[in-house]
Structure 1
Amino acid sequence: MEDVLDKHKQEFDEIRRLCLLCHGLDLTSSTIFGSETYSNPTIETKSILHSLLSSHLLRLAVAIRINLYQESIENITIPVETMVAGYYEDHELIVKPVTIKDICDKIIHADSVTKPIFPKNLLDSDVKISFQLKGTNRKRAWTLNLSLELFAETVLKLLDRIDHVSY
């Protein structure tokens, strides 16, 4: 008897697709819900956005983790830029470096995921506030502020480098 499958498989193109979807949903939700023309979305519209973002973000984190564990993506211990993600334990409030794997772990294990929408002109246009994920690890509360836009771009660049080296 022959097995059809032997282990989980998430190809780089699937990760790219999820990165692009998450990137687009992040930018679109910031733009449309922060605009003056559509500033009061219905509960139904918010619910659909919540579902889309949650499902794609979780699938992206799982797809990356599969490739990390199967060593298709090297488990890089170099922290991502603080513009991408800021992690801290709530009792210390000291920002600590995080890797792509750390970010995926926090996405998967978060107890809450919020996305604040700030009025225009409140923040500089360079500031990328996307998501705040909160959870606990060993009874210690943690927070991850994540720019999904910049995280998706970081992952895409990593995949492009891996593909370029493998040719």
Structure 2
Amino acid sequence: MENKEIKNNVNNNIKVLGWVAFFGGLSQDMIVPILPTFYTQILGLSKEMVGLIEGSVTTVVSLMRIISGIISDKIGKRKSIVFIGYLFSAVGRVLLPLTNGAAMAFGLRLIDGIGKGTKDAPRDALVAKSSKMKNMGFSFGFQRMLDTLGSFLGPLITAGLMLLFAKY
């Protein structure tokens, strides 16, 4: 496919959603590899508490996917719901280093999980609605490719920063 054809096949919504997913995946996968160390070494949490926090986040993400999909279908404001989801995730991730205990870490991780689950179903519906019927696979592939690229680069950046700032 020529560049001109690709450009014509990718709607602006899909481009924006792809790049937002890239940075969302990047930020998510920059923090996930270091969370267990942060919980146990910095906050002094037990392994059981780490499991409770992360298990709760996984549960909340799954539930919010269903709830946000239903809400998105009922009110039809998909962009707003996607924005709110990414906003919640960003707030939860940015404030996490400021935590001073289990309760605050638990709350912020739940906010991140609510955001992560909230954005998924409306985002997929928006990609489907924004793509031409014959290019739906390409549109989803483009959006997922950028998300996956962010998820791939996140841990690499974290590892690089850890090496750069490591104290021996």
Q: Same fold by TM (over 0.5)?
A: no
Q: Which has the higher contact order (CA 8 A, sep 6+)?
A: 2
Higher strand share: 1
